[in-house]
Amino acid sequence: MTLFMIGIGLNNERDISLKGLDAINKSSYVFLENYTSKMNCRVEKLEKLYGKKINPADRDLVEKNSDEILNKALDKNVSFLVAGDVFSATTHVDLFLRAREKGINIRIIHNSSILTAVGIVGLELYKFGKTASLPFFEKSFIPETPYTVIFENKKRGLHTLVLLDIKKDKERFMSVNKGLIQLLELEKKLGKKIILSDSKIIGCARLGSERKVIKYGKVKDLLEFDFGKPLHCIIVPGKLHFMEEKMLEIWK
C-alpha cells in the first residue's frame, strides 16, 4: 500500500490541498507530526474537516519507533501529516528513507512552508543564505552557531532566516523578543557587530495566517513590541536592493 507524506500548510485545517485531503480519505491510519511546528488550530478541527481520527506522532515515535507507523503502510494506506511542507525538517527525510528500505510505496504531497512564506516581507528568496536555528539557551548550552551563520551570510550580502526554538511537549515557544535577547548575548560574547541595538531586523509571527504580524525596525524597538501568539521567526537582512527597501518600508 502507500505512505502518504502530506504537508498541511502553516495556519489551520483549511490549508491542506485537495490532493492531501483525497489521500487522507483513502487512508486507514492518519498520523500528525507534532514536535517540529504548530498549527494555529486544535487537532479536533483537523479531524472534523478531514473526517479521520488523527494520531499524534512525537519525536520518539517518528525518530526511534517509526516501525509503528511504517509497518502499517505495508498493507494499508497511511497518511503522515506535517505542518508546513513535508521536507522542511530533516527528520522527515529519515522517515522517507526508512520507508524506502522497507519497500513501501511513498507519495509526497507538498504545501507552503516558512521557507517560502517569508517571501511576504519583500526580500528576494534567492538572496537568503543558510537558515539558522536558535535554541533556548541553558546554563551549560549557549551555542554560537546561529550567530556564526548570520555573520557568514552578512559577509556575502545574504539574508538570514532565524528559526526560533519550539519545545512542543512543554508548550514553550521562543518569541522574537527572547530570540533578540539571546542574539544580543552572543553579540556581546563574540563582538562582530552584526546584532546591535540599532541594527535593523524583521520580526514575524504566524506567517501564513490572516493574523500574521510583520515588524521591521531597530532591535531596541522590536524588543518592546508584542508579537502575540506563536510561531515567531526573525529575519536578518543582508544587502538590500532598492525594491526590497521599498517593501520593508511597509512593515515599519
Taking only the tens place, the pLDDT of each residue in 62-97 is: 999 999 999 999 999 999 999 999 998 888 999 999
Q: Which residue has the cell 538572496?
A: 127
Taking only the tens place, the pLDDT of each residue in 195-237 is: 999 999 999 999 999 999 999 999 999 999 999 999 999 999 9
Say which CATH topology domain 115-250 has: 3.30.950
Distance CA 250, CA 117 (A): 17
Burial bucket for residue 108 (CB in 10 Å: 0-12, 13-18, 19+):
middle
Q: Find, among 59, 11, 57, the residue nearest to 30 by Cα.
A: 57
Say which CATH topology domain 2-112 has: Cobalt-precorrin-4 Transmethylase; domain 1 (3.40.1010)
State the cell numbers at 102. 522497507
pTM: 0.93
Give the N- to C-terminal CA distance of the chain in Å, as an integer: 51
**Domain span(s) for CATH 3.40.1010.10 in the chain:** 2-112
**Domain span(s) for CATH 3.30.950.10 in the chain:** 115-250
